[in-house]
Chains A and B, each alone.
Chain A
Amino acid sequence: MSNDMNTPENPGHSMAGNLPQPASDRAGGAVASLDRDILISRIIDGEATPEDWAAFKALAAREPSVWRDLAECQQDHADLSAAVADATRLADSIDLPVEEARSEQLSRRFGRAMSWGGWAAAAVVALAFTTRGNNTGLGGNQASLVPAGITVSTPDQAYDAYLQLGREQDRVVEEVPTRILVETRALQDGSFEVRYIRQILERITVPSLYELGEDEAGRPVPIRVRGMVIEPPL
């Protein structure tokens, strides 16, 4: 590839008399050919100014064949655009895999928390958030969690009330629709007991962050996380 392909071809734009000028040492005829090509391109692309049209007509008066070039280029552009439209139309059918990606990330984080030392370790990490954080939304009395006008008499109502209040206070981002199946058990009456995990994507701001590590003796100790991002933001 020649150097000039990597440098901006950046001369004037709107005036036909100031068309982009390639390097003057190119092979003979190249400059005029490029001017002609740019004029045709501008016309095809609807970018031609009245000055461009005047220049084109003057050129056509000298070289009538330029009209044929214009027609052929216009046909090529139409055919190419149709082919590109055909090929790229499928992009409209590709939806963003938001839920899949978030479920995957949450599952990975959940698995990591468990790998740090099981459920107890995960609970310790959570405790480090809630006891040191500010405005976490937890720790208040039950009445403060229930938005006005909502009656809470079932776990589902309480859950919904939590989501609603969490969204209002910018704590809850969203509920992840995917539920993680833990186990199922057949009951004597023919029904099944299903144990599962609901996931809620939340955000809080904390003054400091700890993860569980080990000291020299292999005992679990909290380690302060400094200046690093554990996971990229969702």
Chain B
Amino acid sequence: MDEFGTEPDILGAQRAAAAMRGSTDALREVWQQHRRWIAGVLLAHKPRDVDLEDLLQDVALSLVKRIGDLRDPAAVRPWLRQVALNAARASGRRQQVRAPERLGLKLDAGDVASSIPGAPSGSIVDSISTEGREEGARLLAMARRLPEGYAEPLILRSVRGMSYREIGRVLDMPETTVETRIARARRMVREMVALDSGLKPLARIGVENEAGQTRAQLDQTPTPTGGEP
């Protein structure tokens, strides 16, 4: 099976249409085809203390119950993404009701460890042994802190090599936009890593963060274009 839909769209649409008509086999195939990148979307949007597995189960249940709501079988990817976003947001609302004191802007690598199967809750240092995995978890934590619109393309690109085109289908945006956002996101992550490590940030890119600050404002020290970190 084509996992990310590099097959012609018509086949995916036919599968979705069969699922809408009540075919259980087709419905399962739709889920198997899309669940990996759905996990990526959830990873980009989920609140820090919510289990990814719980959200995946929510999305799976919604798919079964609400596949009939899908108007256009060809739009199954954006529809599934919206279902995933709704699940992530709903979990955030539930979390706010339960424990508002746990919400915070700070995100550390331990947040990522909690989403890795088999990883015990605790610091990233305790749960991830290899240097590469530790660095990967740190980068993922940084990626999740990116401004709206940047984390998702970058994380989807890291989901088993989704192409720009495939990401564009999911996000319903042009490939060139996907490409630019991924490039900017990588730059921002590297800047965040540099700041986190106490190193001089990389060249500025003029993109605002959540607080409306540009990277240029964050880095008051002029840095030559293309300068070293």
- A-side residues, CB < 8 A to B, are 1-2, 5-6, 8-13, 20, 22, 26-30, 32-34, 36-38, 40-42, 45, 47, 63, 65-66, 68-69, 72-73, 76-92, 94-98, 100-102, 105, 173-174, 201, 203, 232-234
- Taking the closest CB of chain A, its distance from the CB of B132, in whole angstroms, is 5
Query: In the assembly, what is the distance between CA of A28 and CA of B31, in Å?
Result: 47
- Contact among A22, A65, A69, A85 with B206 in the assembled complex (CB-CB below 8 Å): A22
- A30 adjacent to B206 (CB under 8 Å): yes
* Interface of chain B residues 26 through 42 with chain A (CB within 8 A): 27-28, 31, 35-36, 38-40
- A37 adjacent to B174 (CB under 8 Å): no
Query: In the assembly, what is the distance between CA of A127 and CA of B155, in Å?
Result: 54
Query: In the assembly, what is the distance between CA of A32 and CA of B202, in Å?
Result: 13
- B39 adjacent to A91 (CB under 8 Å): yes
- B208 adjacent to A203 (CB under 8 Å): no
Interface flags for B173-202 (1: CB within 8 Å of A; 0: not) read 111110111111011011001000000000
- B64 adjacent to A96 (CB under 8 Å): yes
10 extra interface residue pairs, beta carbon distance < 8 Å, beyond A5-B208, A8-B173, A88-B36: A32-B225, A37-B205, A41-B179, A79-B139, A83-B158, A84-B40, A84-B43, A102-B64, A105-B65, A234-B68
Residues of A within 8 A of B112 (CB): 83, 87
Select from chain B the residue with minimum beta-carbon distance to A102.
B64
- B39 adjacent to A20 (CB under 8 Å): no
Residues of B within 8 A of A173 (CB): 22
- Contact among B24, B69, B175, B204 with A27 in the assembled complex (CB-CB below 8 Å): B204
- Contact among B68, B155, B186 with A41 in the assembled complex (CB-CB below 8 Å): B186
What does DSSP make chain B's interface, helix, strand, loop or mixed?
helix
Given the known interface contacts A6-B149, A80-B140, A92-B35, the answer about A11 and B132 at a Cβ–Cβ threshold of 8 Å is no
- B183 adjacent to A8 (CB under 8 Å): no
- B159 adjacent to A76 (CB under 8 Å): no
Interface flags for B113-148 (1: CB within 8 Å of A; 0: not) read 001110000000000000011011101100100011
- Taking the closest CB of chain B, its distance from the CB of A28, in whole angstroms, is 8
- B35 adjacent to A91 (CB under 8 Å): yes
Q: Is B71 an interface residue (CB 8 A)?
A: no
Residues of B within 8 A of A72 (CB): 190, 229
- A37 adjacent to B39 (CB under 8 Å): no
- B36 adjacent to A92 (CB under 8 Å): yes
Query: In the assembly, what is the distance between CA of A215 and CA of B65, in Å?
Result: 34
Residues of A within 8 A of B208 (CB): 1-2, 5
A-B contact pairs, 23 of them (CB 8 A): A5-B150, A20-B180, A28-B225, A29-B224, A29-B225, A33-B205, A34-B183, A34-B205, A36-B226, A37-B183, A72-B190, A80-B154, A80-B158, A80-B189, A83-B140, A84-B155, A86-B136, A87-B116, A90-B53, A91-B38, A95-B60, A96-B64, A232-B68
- Taking the closest CB of chain B, its distance from the CB of A99, in whole angstroms, is 9
Query: In the assembly, what is the distance between CA of A137 and CA of B211, in Å?
Result: 65
- Contact among B27, B38, B180 with A38 in the assembled complex (CB-CB below 8 Å): B180
Best-buried of A20, A27, A45, A86 by chain B (most CB within 10 Å):
A86
Q: Is B17 an interface residue (CB 8 A)?
A: no
